Amino acid sequence: MLHLFKYHYRSVVVRWRSTIATVLGLALVIAVFVLIQSLAVGIEKSSGNTGDPRNLLITRQGALAETTSVVTREQFNIIRYLPAVARDAAGTPLASGDVLIIVNLPRRDGTGSANVMLRGLAPAGIALRPQVSLVEGRWFEPGRREVVASRRLANRFADLHLGGKFKSGGVELTVVGLFDGQRSAFDSELWLDADEARSAFERPDYSSMLLRPATDDALAEIRKALEADRRLKMKVVREVDYYKEQTRTAGPIKWLGNGLAIVMSIGALFAAMNTLYASVGARTREIGTLRVLGYRRRSILLGFLLEGALIAGFGGALGCAIAYFGWNGYSTGTLGWETFTEVVFDFQITPALAAKGILFAIGVGLIGSFLPALRAARLPVIASLKSA
């Protein structure tokens, strides 16, 4: 059997022109498949990388996201002074009421505009998000119409550079700093003072609330206290769990990737099938010789299937390499289905995704080579040897 495998390997090398054509065709299919899937992986990683496991996020019961939630000022004051809430050195509760506002901004490249998330938060809200660090300028000052923008958003939208100004809802805001969210969901936001956001955009209440429990066991205590108080109808989750759930944007991208892969794989199937049919026709006498040497039909069938899988495997590996070296880590953005705002993320080509692409290519090769392999296995020995 080893000699049969060597024969098919040498056949792939000798017929290098048709092999290269098939490999390149499959490589393009797999590169597109992997790139589209990497968009979904990038969104999921961005959300999964967001938040502090010590924090609790509080929203109104029934709200699917912060943008559809309301926390009144009365509720905020009741919750933040619960005994289970941690306090800083000055005795101030580590809690922040956040106001989420959607603003429309022009893109830097002049291709139109898009919605961007503007988050109003208290100074404690900055301290509760240690993964966000200031890289240029300064933080906003309470009571002033100042914002701090994500550096990655500043690269995509006009007027978000340091010192830039933009208007929204009749309010002019000045960018006084840029921050780095370490490839988290915060990279898709602008920040300003919560009270200034409520005043400037006429929002009487908060959208959500972020706090830190005093102890690891305080989560159950806080949840029990909120459920027992009829004035409060709140949902309490860990901040990291909330952002992990906010990945619905990745679903349509995965469906798109799978759909495109199916359509493109049909063309790849016919290409592989056509190549192997031509190969079988050119090697009729060789196949007959293999039969005379004692190789059975099932061995011939298996050999041609392995040859198709080998060619497809090369194509899959090349496609993954093209996707990885050309696009891995490239920053882009899309519309978030949860908030209908710009979501910034990176192409993330992981080892698991590359393995999925190669396996998909091998599957295409096996399916595309089955009929030609079956024809080769069924060729009559005498007729094969008499062929010119």
Residue listed under structure tokens 């009741």 = 78
| Amino acid at site 132 | V
How far is Cα 244 from Cα 45, in angstroms, rounded to an integer?
A: 9
44 contacts: CB under 8 Å, gap ≥ 6? 247, 250
Q: Which runs of consecutive H residues, i.e. helices, occur in the chain?
A: 2-14, 16-48, 73-80, 123-127, 151-154, 194-200, 218-228, 239-245, 250-282, 284-292, 297-327, 351-378, 381-386
- Domains of the chain, by residue range, sit at 2-48+248-386, 62-232
SS (H, E, C) 264-325: HHHHHHHHHHHHHHHHHHHCHHHHHHHHHCCCCHHHHHHHHHHHHHHHHHHHHHHHHHHHHH
Judge whether 210 and 96 are in contact, CB under 8 Å: yes
pTM of the model: 0.79
Model confidence pLDDT, tens digit, residues 267-311: 766 766 776 677 666 666 667 777 767 778 778 778 878 888 888
Q: pLDDT tens per residue, the chain (388 residues)?
A: 566 667 667 777 777 777 787 888 888 888 888 888 888 788 778 887 889 999 999 999 888 889 889 999 999 999 999 889 999 888 899 999 999 999 999 999 888 899 999 999 998 999 999 999 999 999 999 888 999 999 999 999 999 999 999 998 788 999 999 999 999 999 999 999 999 999 999 999 999 999 999 887 888 888 888 877 777 888 888 999 888 887 665 566 667 666 766 777 677 667 667 766 776 666 666 677 777 677 787 787 788 788 888 888 998 999 999 999 998 888 888 767 667 788 888 888 999 999 988 998 888 888 877 877 777 777 776 665 555 5
71-83 pLDDT tens trace: 999 999 999 998 8
In this structure, the chain runs to a length of 388
Question: How many Å apart are CA 373 and CA 276, to the nearest integer?
Answer: 8
